[in-house]
Amino acid sequence: MNIQGMNDLQRIEVKLDNNCITQGIDAGEFYLAYQPQVDASSGALIGFEALMRWNSKTMGAISPDSFIKVAECGSAINNIWGHLLSTIACDRCILDHYQSPFLHLALNLSAVQLPQPRLAIEIEKWMDENSIDGSQIHIEITESALLSDGDQVIKNLMRLNEMGINLWLDDFGTGYSSLRHMRDLPITGLKIDKSFVSDLEENLDDFRIVSAIVAMSNSLGLKTIAEGVETESQAQILGQLGCNILQGYLIGRPDSMETLTSRWLPQHMNQV
Ligand code: G
Ligand code: G
Ligand code: MN
């Protein structure tokens, strides 16, 4: 296919490479949007997922689905991670200002980072330097990252778990959905992919799949988060099924930490 036959996304992907991603980070074009996560039974805010955004001066807004895929082929994925950690450390201070150390921040870790020998050591150093407690951090990993569950991947997961970090399997149901992973890995729970949530009210198969995932998680002592919750009736069904945490446009769209704290926190707790 020549470049004229491509859609906008494909044209951007052709232009994207590790150099331009790293230049974009250095130019301050990357930032985080946060999306609230609430307790399914009480509706109380319990944390935020950090979602990386790129507003390129030359190419406009580029979706993480595009730039993460490209970054994973080179070293830019580590630069994105570094930028994520330094931004989180600053934004964590905003939460501390609201005396809300119990709110967690959920980070997405790329598949290619999980076998890196220094991963857990570097996260530990970052936590020490910024006085961040493990319980304040959740890490979401896609199951494909665990396919090569070699020694180093298991060692990293064990170490992160010992550090008090909650580990979640992201996009659960779309990949391998391995029962062995659910049984053997030190995970807190499963994040049910939004493709099962979107038609929950009309599609009986989706309803049965979500019920089965929640029931199996509960009996294994794991928790569940549903993502992509857009309607009241989805939230109600998920709550009745015993899903623990909800995230989606119904609760709140991804936004800046400043906007979210001013919207959510004064109602929930006393500002210092
Ligand atoms: O909001 P949304 O379009 O941001 O995210 C699309 C996908 O990109 C999601 O599956 C999400 O897990 C992934 N993603 C978003 N931010 C990051 C990030 O900082 N690192 C990694 N590895 N993936 C991310
Ligand atoms: O990393 P993960 O796959 O959990 O990323 C969540 C993705 O889902 C992000 O791309 C985020 O922007 C998107 N998202 C969050 N809430 C909703 C929602 O209610 N509806 C839809 N369609 N997408 C959502
Ligand atoms: Mn995620």
- The model's pLDDT over 154-180, given as tens digits with 9 standing for 90+, comes to 999 999 999 999 999 999 998 887 888
- Given this model, what pLDDT does residue 9 score? 63
Alpha carbon nearest to ligand 2 atom 20, residue? 228
- Atom of ligand 1 at shortest range from CA of 51: 16
> Pocket residues for ligand 1 (CB within 6 Å)?
51-52, 63-65, 68, 80, 84, 108, 110, 170, 254
Torsion angles phi and psi, residue 36, rounded to 5: -65, 145
- Given this model, what pLDDT does residue 270 score? 46
- Given this model, what pLDDT does residue 29 score? 98
Please tell me the distance between residue 238's alpha carbon and the centre of ligand 1 in angstroms: 23
Whole-number Å distance between alpha carbons of 26 and 207: 45
Separation in Å, CA 158 to CA 165, 184, 187: 10, 11, 9
**Strand 30-39 vs strand 45-56: parallel, antiparallel, or unpaired?**
antiparallel
Whole-number Å distance between alpha carbons of 139 and 8: 32
Per-residue confidence band for 268, with pLDDT thresholds at 50, 70 and 90: low
Residue 106: Cβ within 10 Å count:
23
Q: Is the CB of 89 under 6 A from ligand 2?
A: no
- Among candidate residues 257, 263, 265, the one with its CA nearest the CA of residue 105: 257
Work out the average pLDDT over 5-16.
64
Torsion angles phi and psi, residue 188, rounded to 5: -80, -40
- Considering the chain, what is the average pLDDT of its residues? 91
Whole-number Å distance between alpha carbons of 105 and 89: 10
Work out the average pLDDT over 64-78.
94
% pLDDT > 70, the chain: 92
Please tell me the distance between residue 17's alpha carbon and the centre of ligand 3 in angstroms: 23
- Given this model, what pLDDT does residue 271 score? 41
- Among candidate residues 141, 149, 138, the one with its CA nearest the CA of residue 169: 141
Between 119-129 and 151-162, two packed helices, what is the crossing angle to 10 degrees?
20
Nearest listed ligand to the Cα of residue 68: 1
pLDDT in tens, 184-241: 899 999 999 999 999 999 999 999 999 999 999 999 999 999 999 999 999 999 999 9
- Given this model, what pLDDT does residue 11 score? 57
Whole-number Å distance between alpha carbons of 248 and 113: 27
Strands (E), 10-76: 30-39, 45-56, 60-62
Contacts of 154 (CB under 8 A, 6+ apart): 185
